[in-house]
């Protein structure tokens, strides 16, 4: 969707360079420069922010101050940040202001660090047009997390047509992260649902694609739904090379299955830290053929390491420790 000049000026786009650097390129450059695969989850719950930062201040001021003090200490040890929009939306206008100010400040002070907005959007046509504008044009995120269940492709006269998620997928310079296997205990209720590939009718294959290759990769005629998601996202939706997947560190074996299906595609791995994900198993089973291919997220385990005046320094120590531990495990994996 094209923006008119008034929209471009309002969103601060008029002075942007014409050379477009994709999210993937920006992330890879940052990973190499920082020698880090750590994704910092800025899930800045106002209720957990130290009290001294909140006295006499609006919520937006407190949240932004907390975020930027964290970034000042943590930025040398991370490759990407991932604010979860829920923690900002919950605070209304003040939270939205904090999110926008934080992203704007990070892009000004740390322009080489990309921003993933963990918004978990996903709807149909016109709604996704608005969601994409909100995420990429208003917030100015470099990437976004999406739900896959609306679908996003079908075949018409043997031609692949991008559907529901197309407003996101067509943004070639942006990163698109598709939820496959989440880290919550009840994730398997739907995500592990077994799909008998031999029983898929021909009319489904004609319209949505043949999954025979997936069975061959897994050497099984029955696979869980999350692997169908990973296969479809990697084979049919990644037409612009900007699609990645999400798999939680709580279930490293399933992460390994996803890696087998998606090849060298980038995987975002949440669940490290307070969710007690298996970091060693994640590195061993999740790395790609180049020994990388992952960004490993920790949120509250880093940003809420302390509720005292040393909160930013404590966050630094946690981020540095995670970066170093990932380095060690990659060398031995």
Active site residues: 120
Q: Which 3-state string (H, E, C) describes the chain?
A: CCCCHHHHHHCCCCCCCCCCCCHHHHHHHHHHHHCCCEEECCCCCHHHCCHHHCCCCCHHHHHHHHHHHHHHHHHHHCCEECCECHHHHCCHHHHHHHHHHHHHHHHHHCCCCCEEEEEEECCCHHHHHHHHHHHHHHCCCCEEEECCCCCCEEEECCEEEECCCHHHHCCCCCEEEEEEECCCCCCHHHHCCEEEHHHCCHHHHHHHCCCHHHHHHHCCCEEEHHHHHHHHHHHHHCCCCCEEEEECCCCHHHHHHHHHHHCCCCEEECCCCCCCCCHHHHHHHHCCCCCCCEEEEECHHHHCCCCCCCHHHHHHHHHHHHHHHHHHHHHHC
CA distances from 132 to 29, 81, 146 (A): 25, 19, 11
Beta-bridged to residue 40, according to DSSP, are 81, 298
Q: CB-based contacts of 131: which residues, under 8 Å, 6+ apart?
A: 119, 121, 123, 167, 168
CB of 206 within 8 A of CB of 147?
no
Other Cβ atoms less than 10 A from the Cβ of 113: the count is 21
């Amino acid at each position: 969707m094209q923006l008119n000049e008034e929209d471009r000026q309002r969103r601060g786009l008029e002075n942007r360079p014409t050379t477009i650097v994709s999210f993937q390129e920006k992330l890879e450059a940052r990973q190499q420069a920082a020698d880090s695969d750590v994704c910092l989850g800025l899930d800045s719950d106002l209720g957990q922010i130290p009290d001294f930062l909140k006295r006499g201040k609006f919520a937006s001021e407190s949240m932004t101050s907390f975020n930027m003090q964290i970034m000042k200490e943590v930025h040398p040890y991370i490759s990407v940040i991932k604010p979860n929009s829920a923690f900002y939306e919950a605070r209304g206008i003040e939270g939205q202001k904090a999110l926008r100010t934080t992203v704007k400040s990070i892009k000004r002070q740390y322009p080489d660090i990309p921003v993933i907005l963990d918004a978990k959007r996903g709807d149909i046509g016109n709604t996704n047009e608005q969601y994409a504008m909100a995420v990429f044009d208003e917030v100015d995120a470099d990437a976004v997390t999406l739900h896959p269940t609306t679908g996003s492709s079908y075949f018409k006269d043997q031609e692949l047509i991008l559907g529901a998620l197309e407003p996101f997928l067509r943004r070639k310079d942006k990163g698109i992260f598709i939820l496959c296997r989440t880290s919550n205990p009840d994730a398997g209720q739907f995500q592990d649902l077994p799909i008998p590939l031999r029983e898929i009718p021909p009319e489904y294959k004609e319209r949505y694609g043949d999954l025979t290759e997936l069975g061959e990769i897994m050497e099984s005629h029955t696979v869980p739904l999350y692997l169908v998601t990973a296969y479809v996202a990697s084979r049919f939706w990644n037409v612009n090379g900007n699609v990645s997947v999400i798999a939680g560190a709580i279930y490293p074996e399933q992460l390994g299955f996803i890696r087998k299906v998606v090849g060298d595609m980038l995987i975002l791995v949440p669940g490290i830290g307070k969710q007690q994900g298996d970091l060693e198993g994640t590195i061993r089973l999740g790395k790609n053929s180049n020994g990388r291919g992952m960004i490993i997220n920790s949120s509250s385990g880093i940003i809420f390491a302390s509720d005292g005046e040393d909160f930013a320094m404590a966050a630094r120590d946690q981020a540095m420790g995670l970066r170093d531990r990932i380095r060690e495990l990659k060398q031995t994996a």
